[in-house]
Amino acid sequence: MNMEARVGAVVEGGQRALNSAAAAAHGSILDAGARRFLQQQHNNSHQQHSQLGTIQQLLAGGIAGAFSKTCTAPLARLTILFQVQGMHSDVTALSKASIWREASRVMNEEGFRAFWKGNLVTIAHRLPYSSVSFYAYERYKSLLQSVLGVENHRGDGTADLAVHFIGGGMAGITAASATYPLDLVRTRLAAQRNTIYYRGILHAFHTICREEGFLGLYKGLGATLLGVGPSIAISFSVYESLRSFWLSKRPNDSTVMASLACGSLSGIASSTATFPLDLVRRRMQLEGAGGQARVYTTGLFGAFARIIQTEGLRGMYRGILPEYYKVVPGVGIVFMTYETLKMLLSSTPSNY
């Protein structure tokens, strides 16, 4: 959820920044490409909004999410491997773990392609997840603006922030619930090391349903939904605060770069605050996988207590470093890809 939350913040904030920046572009030092991009966004913003239909929005959001996840897949897999290390391993051996040592182990034992293990199901998950998230956010935002009567009161910062926060949270819950089984299968495929229990996406679905029942596909959903609110709140509040402060101190800076930088920082803040929930979610997703005995039998809060008891507070942040490393490229790639695709697709007529 974390990446989608901060991406939503960056895209929405970046879109507003691009639209407003054209008025002040003459006072900034911009390269020719950025200047043309800002001018086109300013001149065609209303036309693009009307032309960019449902299919185009879904396509742009899905491709942007999938492309970003593919680029950062090695770091994402390392994060998952670190997060689940304490489940069936000797805790005393975990102190020797490091990113370089784990990456070397993957390379030597599984091969270079193993860094993208589970990437196919990642794309299969991210295409609908990102699409539903982006599209639902726009729809929830419009609905909330209509209900609250703030369509023509853009100057009301409190109402505007509330709309973005609530809309982002509802979009995150919608997307996470709709695509959760794919996320669980992705975790199980990515967590496999030398022993291959699930041979692919379909085999994993079939095996999980046969051995654990249909509800086995939704293990850890509670931790996911519990993290939506805090993740959205932190992402949006930190992003808006940093961006406002940045532009008040350096009004001539590129608003696009300000949006990207503030989006990355808000992503780091969000990841830091919600990472323990993400770690518990991953571990609960692996409960009973491959016929192994269950580790956390007392629910979500029981899992928290057990991890802290056996691994300490530090265990709640196992794998946080590769998560940090993928924030900046992940946000930048998905933002620029989404905006570029929106521009390209806006020229394609849509009747949807």
Divide the 352 residues of the chain into consecutive groups of 10 and give the mean pLDDT of each group: 48 39 30 34 43 69 83 93 79 68 91 91 80 83 82 63 81 90 92 87 94 92 87 81 88 81 86 93 89 80 90 90 88 81 71 48
CA dist 80 and 78 (Å) reads 5
Angle between helices 73-83 and 320-345 (to 10 degrees): 140
pLDDT value at residue 153: 56
Locate all alpha helices (DSSP H) within the chain, ordered by sequence: 2-24, 32-51, 54-71, 73-83, 85-88, 99-110, 119-148, 157-191, 201-212, 221-249, 255-285, 299-311, 320-345
Are 325 and 257 in contact, with CB atoms under 8 Å apart? no
Gyration radius from the chain CA atoms: 21
Q: How many CB atoms lie within 10 A of CB 325?
A: 16
pLDDT value at residue 59: 79
pLDDT value at residue 92: 55
Compute the half-sphere exposure of residue 43: CA atoms within 13 Å on the CB side of its CA.
Answer: 7
Are 8 and 334 in contact, with CB atoms under 8 Å apart? no
CA dist 83 and 231 (Å) reads 19
How far does Cα 142 stand from its chain's mean position? 22
Are 250 and 282 in contact, with CB atoms under 8 Å apart? no
**CA-closest candidate to residue 28, choices 221, 291, 257:** 257
pLDDT value at residue 347: 65
Are 201 and 118 in contact, with CB atoms under 8 Å apart? no
CA dist 267 and 279 (Å) reads 16
Per-residue tokens: 71: 């680029």
CA dist 206 and 209 (Å) reads 5
CA dist 225 and 245 (Å) reads 31
pLDDT value at residue 97: 67
pLDDT value at residue 71: 92
Q: What is the DSSP letter of 294?
A: P
pLDDT value at residue 25: 29
Are 128 and 177 in contact, with CB atoms under 8 Å apart? no
Q: What is the DSSP letter of 200?
A: S
Q: What is the pTM of this model?
A: 0.76
